[in-house]
Structure formats: C-alpha cells, structure tokens
C-alpha cells in the first residue's frame, strides 16, 4: 500500500497505521481509556476537549492508530496531565 494509500480495519474504517495493535499503541490506548473513565469523561467529551474526532479517540484507545505528538499533547492536556505522566501510566 504505497503512495499514501490507507489501510482499513475489519469494519472498513481507514487506518493509517502500519503498526496497528502494536504493544505500545495498545498500552497507550488502554492508559488513555483508564484515565478517561476514572475522570468520568466520555469519549465524545475528551474528543471535544482535545479538538479531535470522537471516532479517532476510539481508534487511539483500541491501539488502531499511531497518535501524533501534537494530538497526544492535546489529549494529555484534556486529561489534565503531562505527556510524561501519560506515557508512564502506559508503562512505556
């Protein structure tokens, strides 16, 4: 899939990460989900706070997408934490 072609998951949803379900992506997504739930924040609310699409939050939480640094910074801020703390929570 060269030349910028996207991958699609089992449901046909675009997935731009060749590393889908990589251990590190799953760990990060799990940490984001656990923190979000502990704070009582819905995926939709987190997406609004971080200025990303709600479906993208879901794909990040499942480890389907390799989140970009600036998006990670917005998600960490929306969860009222630093990127370092988020990475630490993920065990990375």
CB 6 within 8 A of CB 14: yes
pTM above the 0.85 mark?
A: no
57-84 pLDDT, tens digit per residue, is 999 999 988 899 999 999 999 999 999 9
CATH number at residue 49: 1.10.260.40
Number of domain units in the chain: 1
Q: E strands along 1-92, which residues?
A: 7-8, 14-15
Q: State the residue range of the domain holding 22.
A: 18-90
Assess if residue 59 is contained within a domain.
yes
pLDDT tens digits for range 7-47: 555 566 665 567 778 899 999 999 999 999 999 999 999 99
Task: Tell whether 62 is covered by a domain.
Answer: yes
Identify whether 67 is part of a domain: yes
Residue 8 lies in a domain: no
pLDDT (0 to 100) of residue 2: 41
**Structure confidence at residue 53 (pLDDT):** 94
| 7 occurs within a structural domain | no
């Amino acid at each position: 899939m060269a030349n910028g072609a996207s991958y699609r998951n089992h449901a046909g949803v675009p997935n731009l990460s060749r590393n889908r379900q990589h251990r590190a992506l799953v760990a990060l997504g799990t940490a984001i989900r656990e923190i979000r739930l502990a704070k009582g924040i819905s995926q939709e609310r987190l997406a609004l706070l971080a200025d990303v699409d709600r479906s993208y939050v879901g794909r990040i939480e499942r480890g389907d997408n390799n989140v970009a640094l600036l998006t990670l910074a917005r998600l960490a801020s929306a969860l009222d934490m630093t990127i370092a703390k988020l990475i630490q929570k993920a065990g990375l």
